[in-house]
Amino acid sequence: MRLRIIHIYNEHGRPYAAGDSTVSVKGTDVLRKILFWTHLACGVAAGLVILMMSVTGVVLTYERQMLDWAERSMHATPPPDAEPRPLLALVAAVRQHDPGFAATSVTVENDPTAPATVGAGRAGSLYVDRYTGRVLGEGAEGVREFFGAMTGWHRWFNASGESRGVARAITGASNLAFLFLILSGMYLWLPRVYKWAAFRTRLFFNAKATGGKARDFNWHHVFGIWSAVPLAIVVATAAVFSYGWANDLVYRSFGEEPPARGRGRGGPPPGEGSDGEGAIGEAIVEQRLSLDDLLALAAMHVEDWNRITVQLPPDDATEVGFTIDQGNGGQPQHRHTLVLDGATGKVEEWQPFDSQTPGRRARSIVRFLHTGEVLGIAGQTIAGLVSLTSVIMVWTGLALAWRRLIVPLFASRRNANLEA
């Protein structure tokens, strides 16, 4: 019987010493080879799309803060002893400004200098000075258009019409490929020999890796392992937006049936509204309690609120819904819904976040876990940093693939020409 000696090499191209603890066996070598080539194929196929989503993800990191900063000019100190105008007066001012604007909600902040926001669901919103009733417009339109375009590119190449569905399918599939790259990369990151020297070259930057190939290999592994867990969360949560089965899986993992799509009784939370259809009924004007009285009762229901959204009721409504937000606008765990009787102000329904089913709570959190906003500024920063590291990983990964797949072809052709 003939024995074949197999040498296992370290990161510097030298064989490990005889005393090193090797873990490489035939079965794991086959699995590793399959994962490696699948990893490489997915990276090459989806690399440029992943790069686009990563770059735009970095740009969108602090979108909420940038918009707030850009629209600070709309804040104005109210005159002494001035009283805010009634909510319906603000809505009337918007209707006079734009007769086609179908208002569905009014949002006020717990800041006397901040304007009110009259919303029409996904059709848009307008800012109104709460004390003068002057319509201030849509805000920092240039900044909003920029972030709108970045969001469009991030989700579907900023396509429109029928092509948007195709673009969404491509980004969705690329996102799933990215998730596979992260998970398979965590396995491939493990060195063939469990020795600290091997782990160290993959955990930390190697000052000796000065050549292009060595540097790309080192960076790909270092950035990959340190960002793997948060990046996997960011990518996995994105799948929920792309695929119905992923959305349903969130609920079913808690033993719940996915809810039917549609508005609840209290209306959608801010930023997730209807298409802007519907109108305010005249019945609300004749109620014993005005919307402002009901807003005051809602404000007393929760301490330290940041903003309250009033869902404008239709003609036949006897109840008025409120969304009370104690967070930054991207923290559903600090958002609650309240329904009051329009005539008496009696609480008909109080639904704090903790009272929701586990599946519904998880689905709400998933939406803002993708952007990191659910964890505040720290979460946004982490999401932005791992998006940046994914840019580096795509770049180094494609460079390594180029050297492995393309460069040998040029070398073979050059050798063939020399032999000829």
* C-alpha to C-alpha distance for 1 and 48, rounded to whole angstroms: 50
Residue 339 has pLDDT above 70, yes or no: yes
The closest of 243, 227, 173 to 372, measured between CA atoms, is: 227
Cα–Cα–Cα angle for 159, 164, 165, nearest 5°?
165
* In the chain, domain spans: 26-63+155-256+385-419, 73-144, 282-376
Percent of the chain with pLDDT over 70: 85
Q: Which helix (H) or strand (E) holds 347?
A: strand 347-351
Residue 410 has pLDDT above 90, yes or no: no
**What is the pLDDT, as a whole number, of residue 345?**
92
CB 38 within 8 A of CB 401: no
**What is the pLDDT, as a whole number, of residue 250?**
96
**What is the pLDDT, as a whole number, of residue 261?**
65
246 alpha carbon, distance to own chain's centre: 15
276/135: higher pLDDT: 135
Q: For residue 271, name the pLDDT band (cuts at 50, 70, 90).
A: very low
* C-alpha to C-alpha distance for 211 and 230, rounded to whole angstroms: 29
* C-alpha to C-alpha distance for 314 and 284, rounded to whole angstroms: 8
Residue 262 has pLDDT above 70, yes or no: no
Q: Which sign, positive or negative, has the C-alpha torsion 272, 274, 276, 282? A: negative
Q: Which sign, positive or negative, has the C-alpha torsion 299, 71, 85, 87? A: negative
Mean pLDDT to the nearest integer, 18-33: 62
* C-alpha to C-alpha distance for 40 and 185, rounded to whole angstroms: 10
**What is the pLDDT, as a whole number, of residue 264?**
41
The pLDDT tens digits for 297-306 are 999 988 899 9
Q: Which sign, positive or negative, has the C-alpha torsion 154, 157, 159, 164? A: negative
* C-alpha to C-alpha distance for 272 and 325, rounded to whole angstroms: 14
Residue 247 has pLDDT above 90, yes or no: yes
The pLDDT tens digits for 45-83 are 999 999 999 999 999 999 999 999 999 999 999 888 889
CB 389 within 8 A of CB 235: no
Name the average pLDDT for the chain: 87
The pLDDT tens digits for 147-174 are 999 999 999 999 998 899 999 999 999 9
**What is the pLDDT, as a whole number, of residue 274?**
39
* C-alpha to C-alpha distance for 56 and 225, rounded to whole angstroms: 22
